[in-house]
Every structure is written in structure tokens, then in C-alpha cells.
Amino acid sequence: MPLNLDPNITNPDEFYDELIRAHEGLTKDQSDAYNARLILVLCNEIGDRDVLRAALEAAK
């Protein structure tokens, strides 16, 4: 499965607001840890190593 880099989130502004609210009240270290856990949860959801490898490259 190729990596989808096209916009694919329903109501992206609403999602962004949810993401920002999830960080409210967190310290910088807590926010960084939250992001790391979220990344791992989403990587687990994707599961496909080829897609994950492509995402690592795209993020560079």
C-alpha cells in the first residue's frame, strides 16, 4: 500500500483543535511523551512496515 500524502482527515481544523486540547495543561516533557505515545499508537494501527518506512522517509 503506498503512503497517502493527500489530505485525508475529515474536518481537519476540528481535529487540530482536538489535538491541541489534548495537550492543554501538560508540561513540555509531558507533551513530548504524549506525542511519542500517539505516534506509536498510530504506527501500531497502520501496522504495515512498508507504509511506516515510507512515512519515516516522508517526515524527513
User: pLDDT tens digit string along 10-32?
Assistant: 999 999 999 999 999 999 999 99
Report pLDDT for 2: 81
Q: How many CB atoms lie within 10 A of CB 15?
A: 11
- Establish if 59 belongs to a structural domain: yes
Q: How far is CA 21 from CA 1, 12, 31, in A?
A: 32, 14, 11
For residues 39-60, b (16+ Cβ closer than 10 Å) or e, as one string?
eeeeeeeeeeeeeeebbeeeee
pTM of the shown model = 0.86
Does 4 reside within a domain?
Answer: no
Q: In which domain, by residue range, is 39 found?
A: 27-60
In the predicted structure, residue 1 carries a pLDDT above the cut 80: no
> CA 2, CA 54: separation in Å to the nearest integer?
8
pLDDT on residue 42? 97
Q: Domain count of the chain?
A: 1
